[in-house]
């Protein structure tokens, strides 16, 4: 079973993701797509990529949200509908599997597909897609998974918010190095995709794999910059780093717990900031490949 994520965490990170993703790379993807694009969103979670990218595409479009967790897909449908109504769009549901968001630029069609992505791209409806997209997925997959995806696609592939391994909390703390080492070890453990996770090597691995298959590859930085006023995000981020470090540095329990206590107190007093490096990647097939 592949790794899954909590809806509360996905909701918490959504505005940070939205600020961080490269608009320039998204516009390049948009320019490469047909007039009515069909997008396959892998590991779609609560649908945050749809909510960010659909307005950038700004034309009739169809999305298939793919996730192993049916409750996340259901949550995504509810959230998409609520957000659409909140900005004045009409929403309809012609059947139990389909949501239509009616916008001035045309209808945005959303469907869900419950699927474990362990063997992707096998089992995916690639014949009904014009692009494969994802957010915060490819740093938890393995090198063989990326190689299989690159060799199995003749479509644009867009992967946003891949960690690059330079998370920093400010101000500095003497235990930052120990926490970072433990966290990096956790990033590389097997997360259910057929081998050790790529972690901060994800962008390099994807770029090499897709270029080897003849794709044109572009990347762009997409860092989280989390300010001192964002207390909940900072406390959750510090807690997550501490938990991961604790699993991988059991002999350093006191050090990790001390670091977590200090960082939580700093966050609550408005004295903590964080920078978490990510990068986006877009791979476009050679002209005439389809």
**pLDDT tens, residue by residue, 152-172:** 999 999 999 999 998 999 999
Q: pLDDT tens for residues 200-213? A: 999 999 999 999 99
pLDDT at residue number 252: 86
pTM of this prediction?
Answer: 0.94
Confidence class for position 141, pLDDT limits 50, 70, 90? very high
Domain boundaries 7-165+193-225+278-284, corresponding CATH code: 3.40.50.150
From CA 250, how far away is CA 103, in angstroms rounded?
A: 53
Kindly state the helix (H) or strand (E) to which residue 114 belongs, with its residue range: strand 106-114
Confidence class for position 1, pLDDT limits 50, 70, 90? very low
Q: pLDDT tens for residues 88-109? A: 999 999 887 899 999 999 999 9
From CA 171, how far away is CA 256, in angstroms rounded?
A: 17
Residue 221 reports pLDDT greater than 50:
yes
* 39-48, 183-192, 210-219: range with lowest mean pLDDT: 183-192
pLDDT at residue number 286: 86
Residue 63 reports pLDDT greater than 60:
yes
Confidence class for position 247, pLDDT limits 50, 70, 90? confident
Structure tokens given for 35: 């007039």
C-alpha to C-alpha distances, 99 to 105, 111, 112, nearest whole angstrom: 16, 6, 9
Cis bond before residue 171 (omega within 30° of 0): yes
Q: In sequence order, which residues have a C-beta less than 8 Å from that of residue 75 and are 6 or more positions away?
A: 7, 46, 47
Residue 44, exposed/middle/buried by CB under 10 A (0-12, 13-18, 19+)?
buried
Instruction: Show me where the domains of the chain are located.
Output: 7-165+193-225+278-284
CA 118 to chain CA mean position, Å: 16
Kindly state the helix (H) or strand (E) to which residue 91 belongs, with its residue range: strand 90-95
CA 158 to chain CA mean position, Å: 10
Average pLDDT over residues 141-158: 97
Q: pLDDT tens for residues 3-54? A: 657 899 999 999 999 999 999 999 999 999 999 999 999 999 999 999 999 9
pLDDT at residue number 97: 87
215 contacts 283 by C-beta, under 8 angstroms: yes
Average pLDDT in the chain? 95
pLDDT at residue number 268: 97
pLDDT at residue number 288: 52
21 contacts 275 by C-beta, under 8 angstroms: no
Kindly state the helix (H) or strand (E) to which residue 185 belongs, with its residue range: helix 176-187
From CA 203, how far away is CA 181, in angstroms rounded?
A: 20
Provide the percentage of residues in the chain whose pLDDT is more than 90: 92
Confidence class for position 290, pLDDT limits 50, 70, 90? low
């Amino acid at each position: 079973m592949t790794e899954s994520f909590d809806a509360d965490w996905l909701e918490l990170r959504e505005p940070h993701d939205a600020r961080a993703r490269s608009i320039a790379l998204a516009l390049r993807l948009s320019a490469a797509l047909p007039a009515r694009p069909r997008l396959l969103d892998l590991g779609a979670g609560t649908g945050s990529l749809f909510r960010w990218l659909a307005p950038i595409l700004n034309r009739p479009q169809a999305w298939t949200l793919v996730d192993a967790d049916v409750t996340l897909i259901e949550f995504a449908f509810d959230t998409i509908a609520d957000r659409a109504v909140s900005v004045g769009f009409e929403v309809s549901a012609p059947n139990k599997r389909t949501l239509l968001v009616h916008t001035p630029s045309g209808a945005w069609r959303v469907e869900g597909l419950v699927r474990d992505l362990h063997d992707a791209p096998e089992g995916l409806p690639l014949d009904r897609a014009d692009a494969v997209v994802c957010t915060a997925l490819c740093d938890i997959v393995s090198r063989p998974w990326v190689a299989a995806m690159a060799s199995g696609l003749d479509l644009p592939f867009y992967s946003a918010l891949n960690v690059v391994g330079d998370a920093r909390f400010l101000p500095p703390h003497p235990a930052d190095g120990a926490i970072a080492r433990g966290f990096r070890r956790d990033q590389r453990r097997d997360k259910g995709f057929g081998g050790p996770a790529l972690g901060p090597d994800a962008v390099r691995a994807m770029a090499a794999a897709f270029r080897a298959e003849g794709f044109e590859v572009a990347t762009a930085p997409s860092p989280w910059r989390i300010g001192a006023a964002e207390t909940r995000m900072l406390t959750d981020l510090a807690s997550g780093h501490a938990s991961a470090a604790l699993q991988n540095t059991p002999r350093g329990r006191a050090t990790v717990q001390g670091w977590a206590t200090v960082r939580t107190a700093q966050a609550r007093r408005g004295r903590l900031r964080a920078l978490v490096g990510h990068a986006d990647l877009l791979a476009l097939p050679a002209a005439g490949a389809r």
